[in-house]
A and B are shown apart, each in its own frame.
Chain A
Amino acid sequence: MLSTNRESPPPAAGRAAMKKELPDQFKDHRHVWVFIELERDQVHPVSFELLGEGRKLADKLGVQLAGVVLGPPGEATWFAIAEAFAYGADLAYLVEAPLLADYRNEPFTKALTDLVTNYKPEILLLGATTLGRDLAGSVATTLLTGLTADCTELDVDADGSLAATRPTFGGSLLCTIYTLNCRPQMATVRPRVMAMPPRGNNKIGRVIQHKVSMIEEEIVTKVLGFLSDGQSATANLAYADVVVAGGLGLGAVENVKLMKKLARTIGADYGCSRPLVQKGWMPADRQIGQTGKTIRPKLYIAAGISGAIQHRVGVEGADLILAINTDPNAPIFDFAHLGVVTDAIRLLPSLTELFTHRLSPHSRDKLAN
């Protein structure tokens, strides 16, 4: 057990209202860090979304924005650094070691914790991915600091504290959370919650390299293999431009294919609301919403989905939401842009047919002429 020499805070009643007086040991924590998630030579785009947010926070605070890269020696790791600069980082921290080739909790926790202890950021942001959540929880517990999960909004208040807003109770409520007298203030954000910032042509700036104080023999967990989802769309659902999803209104498992057929016709990805996963009609990684994926497509077609708050939080970033539901009072009509009160099972085949007609090369040529 680690022990802290923190002052014990005043009684609970006045905590939220109390004037924040940061203990001396944290007063030299400065700058905003974004963890750049590199896995199997790929940078997860959530890292760039976070750099966009981190830039705003850093500018408000008048501090620097740093990207943190952990990875094996080689081109992919340096490419990740170049990308961090392209998306707005002022500097980068790098731990480069063969034992960071595949993600494992032990060496990544050690490397990131060491960096924080040495270079003292005031804010540390990570993507709320399987990797980011695995790592953030371990790092925050090691440092005994606050960690706010799945934030949907980040801001700094007048005294420079991070105000992290997140949904709770499945999205029924939002709460704004502060980390009072610990540093760094840590937060995770799900992919697609924040907009992708523009990519600049910034050159690589200062890279601070740090050695990892661990050897492979000390790491218990070994990676035996990795099976890629390959081109299966589940990996891309969050990043799809067009998404079609079905809910309980589809009525029966065989009607799921009506929804999939429409998706295929218009080159969309497909998903579902939670009840379909619970019924076993669709795999869990197709679930859209609070406990599933957040999407941000240009077009979202929701077929037979009632639009409970848990679903809403996952789709609100869509540019255009089209809802089909037999119940005129379904909550989805409160946040969709275009709605039709009808049975999705009857409408889907017609939609597929008419999209086919409208999008076929033949009719496109006709339109062009």
Chain B
Amino acid sequence: MHIVICIKQVPDSAQIRVHPVTNTIMRQGVPTIINPYDLFALEEALQLRDRHGGEVTVLTMGPPMAEDALRKALTYGADRAVLLTDRHFAGSDTLATSFALSRAIAKIGEAFGTPDIVFTGKQTIDGDTAQVGPGIAKRLDLLQLTYVAKIVSVDINGREITVERRSEGGTQTLMSKLPCLITMLEGTNEIRRGSLDDALRAARSQIVKWNAADAGIEDLTKCGLRGSPTVVKRVFAPPERAEKAEQIDTAEKTPRDLAEELIAGIFLRQPALESELAFDGE
């Protein structure tokens, strides 16, 4: 089977610094990682390949430096990597991003075989929209299975797939058909460490680099800022809370004293709570 997985290189969120004057993200020197949710999807894709045979192609759209994320994905064991990079993609919102990626996936299909499954993570940790996966599915007319916690079974010959999908308040079991697009939740799978062979292969691999024209995109008005119906009008830092927390003085006090004071402090501020807290005496 052929699986395409879309990944994104994102700034490590723990280390994001915002410029105090311009309110822009200071990317200089901020380490980048593969979006964590994409790794669960990658692991799932590699497991399916190991079980059913075939290939995993990893795809990213981003600046030239996103090549690092692809190389990393190759060290995990992906078979092929495609970098979609073009300055015309700058400023893409989710609609424009799903357009460019869907064209690249169609091109990958022509060049390396039609994918049976396209994977994405449930969302990225920088944009946090969870919109690109569904956007790609719609543009490629793929069946869409989002928030998948587990792939129960895949029948390649029968073209059938069964998954468990998280929904509000429970888990749906869905049966669908290939080809489909799956967005993965944080899986139950341990993410593998690639083998030495994979590392050597990754170091030697040629990464396929495509610009818009290579990916078969003729209409540049659908890309980047021009192809994005949404426009960011204003960027600002979250307002500071006016008052900092009132601190309980801890000097010379036992945990019991502190607990007493805290509870008094809670009920002083929220008197109604006292009658509402359910007591579950043991």
Chain A residues in the interface with B (C-beta under 8 A): 1, 8-9, 12, 15-16, 39-40, 42, 44, 102-106, 109, 129-131, 133-134, 136-138, 140-142, 144-150, 163, 167-182, 220-229, 235, 241-242, 264-268, 277, 284-285, 290-291, 298-299, 308-310, 312-313, 319-323, 332-342, 346-347, 349-351, 353-356, 358-361
Q: Which of B123, B162, B262 has most chain A Cβ within 10 Å?
A: B262
Given contacts A131-B167, A138-B144, A163-B233, contact A171 B238 (CB under 8 A): yes
Contact A227 B126 (CB under 8 A): no
Contact A342 B258 (CB under 8 A): yes
The CA-CA distance from A290 to B13 in the complex, in Å, is: 11
A–B complex contacts, Cβ < 8 Å, 11 sampled: A109-B138, A130-B146, A173-B18, A173-B25, A223-B172, A223-B173, A228-B169, A299-B270, A299-B273, A333-B245, A349-B255
Contact A267 B277 (CB under 8 A): yes
Given contacts A174-B237, A333-B244, contact A221 B143 (CB under 8 A): yes
> In residues 88-144 of chain B, which contact A (Cβ within 8 Å)?
91, 93-95, 98, 123, 125-135, 137-139, 143-144
| Chain A residue nearest to B237 in the complex (CB) | A173
Contact A359 B279 (CB under 8 A): yes
B65 within 8 Å of A by Cβ? no
The CA-CA distance from A44 to B168 in the complex, in Å, is: 9
Interface of A is mostly: mixed
Contact B174 A221 (CB under 8 A): yes
Give the chain A neighbours of B126 by CB distance below 8 A. 168-170
The CA-CA distance from A199 to B196 in the complex, in Å, is: 63
Contact B95 A141 (CB under 8 A): yes
Contact A355 B146 (CB under 8 A): no
Interface of B is mostly: mixed
Of B25, B132, B166, the contact of A169 (CB 8 Å cutoff): B25
Of B228, B254, B265, the contact of A338 (CB 8 Å cutoff): B265
Give the chain A neighbours of B11 by CB distance below 8 A. 169
B260 within 8 Å of A by Cβ? yes
Of B175, B256, B262, the contact of A221 (CB 8 Å cutoff): B175
Contact B244 A141 (CB under 8 A): no
Contact A138 B247 (CB under 8 A): no
Give the chain B neighbours of A170 by CB distance below 8 A. 13, 16, 125-126, 128
Interface segment out of the listed B56-64, B202-210, B219-227: B219-227
The CA-CA distance from A144 to B96 in the complex, in Å, is: 10
Given contacts A138-B144, A266-B277, A361-B279, contact A175 B123 (CB under 8 A): no
The CA-CA distance from A124 to B207 in the complex, in Å, is: 41
B195 within 8 Å of A by Cβ? no
Interface string of B241-280 (1 = CB under 8 A from A): 1011111101000111011101101100110111011111
Taking the closest CB of chain A, its distance from the CB of B109, in whole angstroms, is 14
Interface size class of B (residues with CB under 8 A): 35 or more
B177 within 8 Å of A by Cβ? yes
The CA-CA distance from A222 to B175 in the complex, in Å, is: 5
The CA-CA distance from A142 to B135 in the complex, in Å, is: 8
Known A-B contacts: A221-B145, A266-B279. Give 9 more (CB < 8 A): A109-B138, A130-B167, A131-B167, A147-B95, A172-B18, A223-B174, A241-B276, A335-B245, A340-B258
Given contacts A102-B172, A220-B177, contact A265 B280 (CB under 8 A): yes
Contact B248 A12 (CB under 8 A): no
Of A264, A312, A338, A358, the contact of B269 (CB 8 Å cutoff): A338
Contact A220 B186 (CB under 8 A): no
Contact B247 A333 (CB under 8 A): yes
Give the chain A neighbours of B29 by CB distance below 8 A. none
Give the chain A neighbours of B232 by CB distance below 8 A. 16, 175-177
The CA-CA distance from A308 to B15 in the complex, in Å, is: 11
Given contacts A133-B146, A141-B134, A221-B176, contact A359 B277 (CB under 8 A): yes
Give the chain B neighbours of A174 by CB distance below 8 A. 235-238
The CA-CA distance from A105 to B147 in the complex, in Å, is: 12
Contact A169 B13 (CB under 8 A): yes
Taking the closest CB of chain B, its distance from the CB of A35, in whole angstroms, is 14
Give the chain A neighbours of B254 by CB distance below 8 A. 350
Contact B246 A351 (CB under 8 A): no
Give the chain A neighbours of B21 by CB distance below 8 A. none
Given contacts A147-B94, A176-B234, A351-B263, contact A337 B245 (CB under 8 A): yes
Q: Which of A16, A44, A134, A360 has most chain B Cβ within 10 Å?
A: A134
The CA-CA distance from A6 to B130 in the complex, in Å, is: 26
B158 within 8 Å of A by Cβ? no
Give the chain A neighbours of B236 by CB distance below 8 A. 173-176
B213 within 8 Å of A by Cβ? no
Contact A167 B238 (CB under 8 A): yes
Taking the closest CB of chain B, its distance from the CB of A275, in whole angstroms, is 9
Contact B143 A341 (CB under 8 A): no
